[in-house]
Chain A
Amino acid sequence: MSTLVIAEHDNTNLKPATLNTVAAANVIGGAVHILVAGHSCQSVADEAAAVGGVEKVILADDSAYENQLAESIANLIKSISSDYSHILAPATTFGKNVLPRLSALLDVQQISEITEVVSEDTFKRPIYAGSCIATVKSSDAVKVITVRATAFDPVDASGGSASVESISADGVSDLSSFVNEEIAQSDRPELTAASIVISGGRGMQSGDNFHLLETIADKLGAAVGASRAAVDAGFVPNDYQVGQTGKIVAPDLYIAVGISGAIQHLAGMKDSKVIVAINKDEDAPIFQVADYGLVADLFNALPELSEQL
């Protein structure tokens, strides 16, 4: 039994979600290999080789993999898949894009967003926006799995000394090509990696008012998020969205401001360690999951909070 973990990276650094995915692989048991597919990404392979408990890093360094488009990456993984009983990737937009394609190429039913490994073939995963947790047993010969990063504590980024084996490009596809990318530049931590997140909802009333959250975020070293309602209303871009159809976060502290607490939003944050809700509607469902609730007008509470931090 051995597991292949698909590394999430930007050709320079290994993304932290990879470490949570390796943690899930360790629970399954057996040897863990990491595939780094990218371009000019030796530094990522070196980082992956240092990850605790990893036996081997497979490096596919080719211009065809620079933007990690699904068609070519899925073909590449397929070409080395016969060595593995499990193939795992983090349930990020990258993993969600590539793994189902791979899974169909292998004629395997993927298991999406697992939150617990029960045994080598049995896993728990949330369904219906996390309203229920399903335990499923897979009968496929190869298990293709995406991992909800927040459900597994990351392994050590150092302490390992895996060998690095280079492989050449295989099955490069020209069905799609990269045009450009607009990556939001921010000095704040990434939403999914932040230890504190402060999010705003429809109650913020406008995108401009998000500066009230940003001021507090900067004092706390926090990331800024939003509910789907705030994204739908055009207050902030979609990459702020926390919830069933956005990002899943589980920080040490989650502060929900002007968010009513629709099930779609709770699905993305209810595993946070401490939840604070600030809302002027005392009946808002968000208070049912909050450790500390403050019934107040956010336009009074936020400046006061900022002052006291």
Chain B
Amino acid sequence: MKIVVPIKRVVDYNVKVRPLGDQSDVDLNNVKMAMNPFCEIAIEEAVRLKEAGTATEVIAVTVGKTDSQEQLRTALALGADRAILVETDSLLEPLAIAKALSKVIEAESPQLVILGKQAIDGDNNQTGQMLAALLNYGQATFASEISIDGNSASVTREIDGGLQTIQVSLPAIVTTDLRLNEPRYASLPNIMKAKKKELDVQPIDAMGLDTAPRMELLSVELPAARQEGIKVESVEELVGKLKNEAKVIS
């Protein structure tokens, strides 16, 4: 079984992102970039399926600029067998990314596609579901457990009230939630080996897709700041304030 894992290069989760001075966009000058954390979980799950003998090949894919090769190399160091960069100079929206990914998946015809449920930059939570629609695949989003049985996968999903288990026919799209697994760290020998693995670059223009933006970013601003609070000295004072000042408990 072949597994394709689309990943994304994003601002490292420890970076506090701020708007540019003219509020035209976020300020990404000189910030640390990393693989989106949910994508690390996706790579880990695919690699574990390979280690368990269920999968035979894991292919990491991303749609982005040349510098996204860095995150593909990380994926290779974590255990992916080869990587594909769909190269573009534009900042694409999720729908356009899903379209480009669908072309790669049509060409590779994997049995399973695992992606992160959302990227921590745009917080859109769209690409996996869109990809499933474009390919007419079943979708199992927000997965906390995946088991493959023959031509279908049984997936437990994190839903608002608890857990839901569904069965999807393969090929299918699965998006990862936090508790699916705990990703490993890349070892130095594996980082060295990753440099020699195949990384194929495909220009997006050759795919003949409509990737024109549908949204215009008008401005980026800081959220309204909260008024500064106070420190209380004791539980008694706290309860008094909540009752008499904030009036949120009686």
Contacts and interface: CB of A to CB of B under 8 A. Distances in A.
A117 interface: no
A196 B247 CA distance: 12
Interface in A234-248: 237-239, 241, 244-245, 247
Contact of A308 (B94, B121, B239): B239
Interface in A149-197: 173-184, 190, 192, 196
B216 A137 contact: yes
B178 interface: yes
B229 A127 contact: no
Given A108-B214, A133-B220, A196 B248 contact: yes
15 contacts: A103-B95, A104-B130, A104-B134, A134-B217, A136-B215, A175-B136, A176-B172, A183-B162, A238-B178, A274-B246, A287-B231, A293-B232, A294-B231, A295-B231, A305-B235
B222 interface: yes
A132 B26 contact: yes
A107 interface: yes
Contacts of A289: 226, 229
A302 B152 CA distance: 48
Q: For chain A, what secondary structure do more than half of its interface residues adopt (helix, strand, loop), or is it mixed?
A: mixed
Nearest to B127: A100
B160 A239 contact: yes
Contacts of B202: none
Contacts of B1: none
Query: For the side of the interface on A, what is the size category?
Result: 35 or more
B241 interface: yes
Nearest to B153: A176
Interface of B: 11, 13, 16-19, 26, 38, 93-95, 98, 117-118, 120-134, 136-142, 144, 154, 157-169, 172, 177-179, 213-223, 226-227, 229-232, 234-236, 238-239, 241-242, 246, 248-249
Nearest to A109: B214
A247 to B, nearest CB: 7
Given A104-B133, A305-B238, A109 B93 contact: yes
A293 B140 CA distance: 41
Contact of B123 (A97, A127, A304): A127
B137 A175 contact: yes
Contact of A181 (B125, B164, B220): B164
A97 B133 CA distance: 11
B221 A100 contact: no
A179 B123 contact: no
Given A175-B138, A177-B166, A308-B236, A291 B230 contact: yes
Given A138-B214, A196-B248, A308 B18 contact: no
Contact of A71 (B130, B139, B162, B217): B139
A133 B121 contact: no
B167 A177 contact: yes
B235 A274 contact: no
A186 B223 CA distance: 34
A239 B231 contact: no
B161 A239 contact: yes
A122 interface: yes
B17 to A, nearest CB: 4
B216 A308 contact: no
A229 to B, nearest CB: 11
A232 B178 contact: yes
A113 interface: yes
B229 A129 contact: no
A228 B178 contact: yes
Contacts of A102: 133
Contact of B232 (A133, A173, A183, A294): A294
